[in-house]
Structure 1
Amino acid sequence: MSKESMDDLNNAGLAPYSPAWIHSEVTRLVDLVDSGEMPPIVQLGHPVLRMRANELDGQLGPELLQGFLGAMRTVMLDAPGVGLAAPQLGIPLRIAVLQDLYETNPEIATAREREPLDYLEIINPHYRPVGDRTAAFYEGCLSFNGYQGVVERPADISTSFLDADGVPRRRNFSGWQARIFQHETDHLDGTVYIDKALTRSLCANHEYPRWANPGIDQARVGLGF
């Protein structure tokens, strides 16, 4: 959020991250997106990315929650990205939206087990590995602009979450869908992918085409990780 917005809230007597502050800031974000303006995505170094987000427990109300989910989806697609967590908009609530319907090279899709992921809203999500299978591939993050790094993650997970109506859901994910779910849920625990990355794999976006192969073997040799 801008300094001016923070000053306005402070002048109104709203402490940052209090329930009243969250309600006011979410309302502002929804109104901003409804007006056609995209809010900035919070970048690494902002404290909200290092906080454990609060569980959603009626803080927003049904109408405002629907508005916020819609705003998050709009920002995600505008970025463009395949997931966005509420802390990335400065809001410490356990909410994320996911969607991966982009076309990709068939060889890369096969190697990375990248299947289309229809739009999904996850509230208060949790995940756990299923089995011992892992996969290591490059990831990027809208809150760490300009870089990508290799992260090894469980390849198969079991998840639980609430949908926008508060109905408990359980789903299993594998491959790239599992990676997206883990990446966004990690944001809600104050974890950014660089915390889990093989740091020697880190590369700037303009260097990434060197290593944009179906697998990471060439990058392992070239970058020594």
Structure 2
Amino acid sequence: MMTNLFSVFDPSSSILGMSVNWISTSIGILIIPMSLWIIPSRGTLLWSSIIYKLHNEFKLLIGKKSINKGSTFIFISLFSLILFNNFLGLFPYVFTSSSHMSFTLSLALPLWLTFMLFGWINNTKHMFAHLVPQGTPGLLMPFMVCIETISNIIRPGTLAIRLAANMIAGHLLMTLLGNTGNSLSLVLIPLLIFTQMLLLTLESAVAIIQSYVFAVLSTLYSSEVN
């Protein structure tokens, strides 16, 4: 029996004492480039149309200053990486890397730190002006500076926790329902399977939404420093 419900997310597969669970993150490197060497299929055409729509949307969010710098492809790559790992975690006995803070925080923290360094070095006046919203009374300005500073500092944490918590929540619910299968009667087993299928569909939607939210928020954070 599991001594801890969260133990299902612990890395357990190892070779010679080294964990191999995180190798699942790099499986896409072996699969995705194959689409560049074969005749385009419906799947590749669909993915190309999705990337094109994301490019147009991120271009509007970033602004006109960074349109020709290829900034949108950074966030499209980020979206693709998170989406791939989220979907990979839906398969049985596959390690869900996006449910760990070491994965999500390693994506959010370097992005936020890069944005902050770029903004404070190149657009110092704009960054100072951003700490005080327009129309703030003079008496409230010190408090608004403190609030805006705290909100900027916790941004990488909120990005990382949002993604990890949403991926953990659905997996935990599916694990709880799956563990009750041994004690259920044969009449309730079809109902349990149907419920698990609904949860799996919901988790598929959550995997898409959370990768999209992560990429969009990262794009908005980058647009604030330009």
Length-normalised TM-score, structure 1: 0.23
Higher share of residues assigned helix: 2
Greater relative contact order structure (CA < 8 Å, 6+ sep): 2
